Structure 1
């Protein structure tokens, strides 16, 4: 066996990007700290700036293409939904349009914009975590701070299950298409084609969970002995710790400023 391949498992898995090399918990810390600003500054402009910061972080991580697609899909669905709900049904003094239960007020529009941009920030956090943090790195980091290995395995399995269901759905839809079943078209055609997929999809998920349980038992997953890992992370450098602390202090200062204002 190639000695280089063997040695690759003896050293921490690093990339050439500084942001991707940060500890997963530190990255989550930074993302959530930035997101907390939206709770204390009631200005939609602030939410837009934070969203742009997330986009810049995705660019810095070299993951802009992976980030922007899911971000736009989530943001263009969730953001307008919250805007419409708040803009149409929120009471206010400055009435713009009224018909039945529909009350469009200036206050509702302002609140709708605020909530829509907050949802953009939330979507940015979720997508940025997905594209810059590997699930196995996250669970390894959790184990290093004392989280039981069975809990970290449940987190990893849950994240992996989403990916597996997506892949299985694609395979089943391709099989349906090869049989001449129409799967493309308007919304009703897609729903009609998707409903028969649910049964084999969930049966396959249940079967896969059972097979995974048997495989883990065969590998002494429940053993009390310390676990070994094929993949591990570098020790957190002092400079990275200082960076996280400075970011937290800066965000805390901005939050205090927001409360005062």
Structure 2
């Protein structure tokens, strides 16, 4: 057997990028504390700054291309939607424009900007989680701090199920197109073409669940003995632990300062 292949499983799983090598729980900790800022500081400028910070983190992690496309798709749909809803239907005293029963006020515009920028932060956080934290590394880190392997498997399988359904949908749609069935057009036409996909998609999901159950039994998943892993993460350096604590303290101190002062 190739020695390089054997050493791949003997050594910790590392990436060429230093940020991706950070412990998944430490990265999650950083993202959560950054997400706390807009909850306490109701300023659209802060939300824009956080969005830029997420983009910079994606650049540092070398995942900018994987980050920017889904982020823009989410942000360009959800952000304007929340802005329009708040700007059109929020009451206020400073009237800017009136068209029939629709009254656009300055208060509604300000609130719409606030909500739209909050959605930018939420979208950036969700996309950044998916492109910088591997699900298998995250669940392994949870097991190392004492979580049951059953809980980690539920988390991993739930995340994997979404990707599996997406891939199966693409395969079914491609097979539909290969049979000459039109799947492109306006939104109503696409919905009509998507309905026949649901049946094989759900049947495939049920079959996949049964196959996973058989595979788990074959691997003695329910055994009370200590489970083993083919891959493992590098030990967390002390500098990284100290850096995480310092960043948490700085963010909490900033929030307290802004709220109180």
Query: For this structure pair, what is the TM-score category when the shorter chain's length is used for normalisation?
Result: over 0.9
Q: For each residue in 1:151-210, what CA deviation from the matched residue of structure 2 results, as whole angstroms up to 9, or x when unmatched?
A: 100100011011111110000000100111111121122111111111111111111011
Does the Cα contact within 8 Å between 1:97 and 1:105 map onto a contact in 2? yes
Q: CA deviation at 1:253?
A: 0.9
Q: For each residue in 1:103-137, what CA deviation from the matched residue of structure 2 results, as whole angstroms up to 9, or x when unmatched?
A: 31110110110011011111111100100000000
**Which whole-Å CA distance do the structure 2 matches of 1:219 and 1:112 have between them?**
52
Q: Counterpart of 1:42?
A: 42
Q: Does 1:135 align with 2:135?
A: yes
Q: Does 1:213 align with 2:213?
A: yes
Q: Counterpart of 1:155?
A: 155
What's the C-alpha RMSD, in Å, of the aligned pairs?
1.0
Q: Which moved more, 1:40-49 or 1:98-107?
A: 98-107
**Which whole-Å CA distance do the structure 2 matches of 1:101 and 1:223 have between them?**
65
Q: CA deviation at 1:97?
A: 2.7
With the length of structure 2 as denominator, give the TM-score of the two structures: 0.97
Q: CA deviation at 1:99?
A: 4.1
Q: Counterpart of 1:72?
A: 72
**Which whole-Å CA distance do the structure 1 matches of 2:12 and 2:101 have between them?**
60
- Please list, as runs of the form range in 1=range in 2, the aligned pairs for 1:43-192 lying within 5 A after superposition: 43-99=43-99, 101-192=101-192
Q: Does 1:244 align with 2:244?
A: yes
Q: CA deviation at 1:100?
A: 5.0
**Which whole-Å CA distance do the structure 2 matches of 1:23 and 1:117 have between them?**
29
**Which whole-Å CA distance do the structure 2 matches of 1:255 and 1:241 have between them?**
22
With the length of structure 1 as denominator, give the TM-score of the two structures: 0.97
**Which whole-Å CA distance do the structure 1 matches of 2:101 and 2:2 have between them?**
71
**Which whole-Å CA distance do the structure 1 matches of 2:157 and 2:67 have between them?**
22
Runs of 5+ unmatched residues, structure 2:
none
Q: For each residue in 1:197-248, what CA deviation from the matched residue of structure 2 results, as whole angstroms up to 9, or x when unmatched?
A: 1111111111101110111011100000001001110111001001111110
In structure 2, the residue corresponding to 1:227 is in which secondary structure? coil
Q: Counterpart of 2:224?
A: 224
Does the Cα contact within 8 Å between 1:20 and 1:133 map onto a contact in 2? yes
Q: Counterpart of 1:24?
A: 24
Q: CA deviation at 1:31?
A: 1.0
**Which whole-Å CA distance do the structure 2 matches of 1:229 and 1:87 have between them?**
52
In structure 2, the residue corresponding to 1:167 is in which secondary structure? helix
- Deviating runs (4+, > 3 A) in structure 1? 98-101
**Which whole-Å CA distance do the structure 1 matches of 2:17 and 2:183 have between them?**
40
Q: CA deviation at 1:101?
A: 4.5
In structure 2, the residue corresponding to 1:98 is in which secondary structure? strand
Q: CA deviation at 1:19?
A: 0.5
**Which whole-Å CA distance do the structure 2 matches of 1:115 and 1:38 have between them?**
10
